[in-house]
Amino acid sequence: MNKTAVQARGELLVALSNRIVAIYKELYGKGPVKVRCWYLDDVVLCVLREPLTRSEQTFVEIGHGDRVALQRDSFHQVAGPVFMEAVEELTGRRVDTVLDATDEQKNVSTLVFLLESPEMAALRATDEGGARERQQVRKKARDVKEQARRLRDTHRELVRSFEEQSPKEP
C-alpha cells in the first residue's frame, strides 16, 4: 500500500470509529469512551471500551449483569441495521451481518461486521434492483432508529422505576 492508500485507510478507520460513537450517543444517550476499528478483507471489527451507561454499570455492580446482557442483546437486534447502514455508507460495501458481544464485567463490547465479498458486490452492482434494495435498507434503518429511541425511553423508565423501588442507603 502506498502512503496515500495508507492515509485513506486510516481516515476510514477514524470515520468508522467516530460514526459508531455517534450512533451509540444517539441511541443510548452515551457513547463508549474509546473505539478502535480494524478493516481486513471482508471484516470490520470494532472494539468499544466503556460502552455501558451509568445505569447499566449500576446493574452490574449490584449483581444484575445478566439483565444488562439481555437488554443489550435485545437492543442490538433492533439497532443492528443502523450500524450496518453506517458501515455500508463508509466502506461502500454491503454488510451481510453484524455480530455483537458485551462483557459487562470488563465494560467492553465488540461489533463484527461481515461484508459482502467483492465478487458478489460486483454482481449486485449490475442489478437494477440494487438501488431499490439500498432505499429499503435506508428506510429500515430510519424505522429502527425510531424503535431504538422508544426502547431507550422504555429502558429509562424501567431504570427510574427500579431506582424508586430500591431501598435508599442512609
pLDDT at 149: 80
Q: Assess if residue 7 is contained within a domain.
A: yes
Domain of residue 111 covers: 3-165
User: pLDDT, tens digit, for every residue of 104-163?
Assistant: 999 999 999 999 988 777 776 676 566 667 777 778 788 888 887 888 888 778 777 777
Is residue 49 situated within a structural domain? yes
pLDDT(19) > 70? yes
* pLDDT given at position 34: 95
| C-alpha cell recorded at residue 73 | 442483546
pLDDT at 106: 95
**170 inside domain:** no
For the segment 80-103, the average pLDDT, to the nearest whole number, is: 94
Residue 45 belongs to some domain of the structure = yes
Q: Among all chains, which residue has been given the C-alpha cell 455517534?
A: 22
Q: How far is CA 13 from the centre of its chain?
A: 15
The residue-averaged pLDDT of 76-94 equals 93
The verdict on residue 40 lying in a domain is yes
The answer to whether position 146 is within a domain reads yes
User: Domain for residue 55, yes or no?
Assistant: yes
Please state the domain count of the chain: 1
